[in-house]
Chain A
Amino acid sequence: MAIQIILLCGLIIFSVLAILLKDLIKAALSLAVASLFLGIIFFLLAAPYAGVFEISVVAGLITVLFVLTIALTKKDGEVKESRIVHLAFPIFFILFIVIDGLVMKSLLQKIPVLPIGPEAGTFGEVLWKQRTFDLVAQIGIILAGVLAVLALFRKKEEDKDE
């Protein structure tokens, strides 16, 4: 239990770093580290596949995309953030922790949850048999993502041919 809380705190800390660090590359890397923590948490929560995906795809692929973008926009990509935002963050953060704690505590005591027996089958069965529609949708979203990127990066010259 303790290790999980430590991991969760690490996740929070690196997320905070990701938004507070001025250097974008460093921020992206903090995000990747946070993903790493999340992946481990998944693993501990008996979701190993999700953990693997989180580490490889989010911490890996997405970070690469971020770094690529940052590199592409490096020339004029500096935007000066307001200092007050950084200074005020801890105050709001602590305030929110308190509120969050109170809310969760109050919810915690009232809510019954339906008891569910242990699951049958394996992960693969669940994914393919119960969530088949998700796979269809995944096809859809990948198609959408690919087409979107194609559309956004289409060559301008071609327009003139038309």
Chain B
Amino acid sequence: MSNLWFLYLFFSALLIFIGIYCLLTMRNLIKLFIAIEIISKGVSLAIVATGAVNNNVLLAQSLAITYIVIEVCLVATALALIINIYKKNKSLDVRLLSKLKG
């Protein structure tokens, strides 16, 4: 059973890697947030898979659902922020967000 768990964890790690790669290298604010979404996909995959392979799927499922709710709220907040930033900066470039430094 645990072989399967680590197979899923392998994929979830891949997803997280993809997300972080994007976060580290890309510049578009929305793209960056898509990367966050990918990371959270990886996490939710890990949650459900963990429950499934360890006979605990009901609990895992409830965690996953809660997590999805959190995700939605985050997305809403983040996109609201991005829109506001866009209104101020007229751009979605993350490199412009470096007024605060030092």
Contact = CB atoms under 8 A, between A and B. Distances in A.
**Touch A–B, Cβ below 8 Å:** yes
Interface in B50-98: 51-52, 54-66, 68-77, 79-84, 86, 90-93
B96 to A, nearest CB: 9
B79 A66 contact: yes
A2 interface: no
Contact of A116 (B18, B49, B55, B63): B55
Given A47-B52, A96-B14, A145-B76, A79 B59 contact: no
Given A15-B41, A28-B34, A79 B92 contact: yes
Contact of B27 (A27, A58, A79, A121): A79
Contacts, number: 228
Nearest to B5: A113
Interface residues of A, number: 79
A19 B44 contact: no
Interface in A70-101: 70, 72-73, 76-82, 85, 89, 92-93, 96-97, 100-101
B41 A34 contact: yes
B33 to A, nearest CB: 8
A89 B21 contact: yes
Interface of A: 5, 8, 11-12, 15-16, 18-19, 24, 27-28, 31, 34-35, 38, 41-42, 45-47, 49-50, 53-54, 57-58, 61-62, 65-66, 68-70, 72-73, 76-82, 85, 89, 92-93, 96-97, 100-101, 103-105, 107-108, 111, 113, 116-119, 121-123, 126-127, 130-131, 134, 137-138, 141-142, 144-145, 148-149, 152-153
Interface of B: 1-3, 5-11, 13-15, 17-19, 21-22, 25-31, 33-35, 37-38, 41, 44-45, 48-49, 51-52, 54-66, 68-77, 79-84, 86, 90-93
Given A15-B18, A73-B82, 17 more contacts: A19-B31, A42-B48, A42-B64, A46-B52, A46-B57, A47-B51, A47-B61, A49-B65, A57-B69, A58-B71, A58-B72, A68-B79, A92-B21, A100-B17, A116-B56, A144-B73, A145-B72
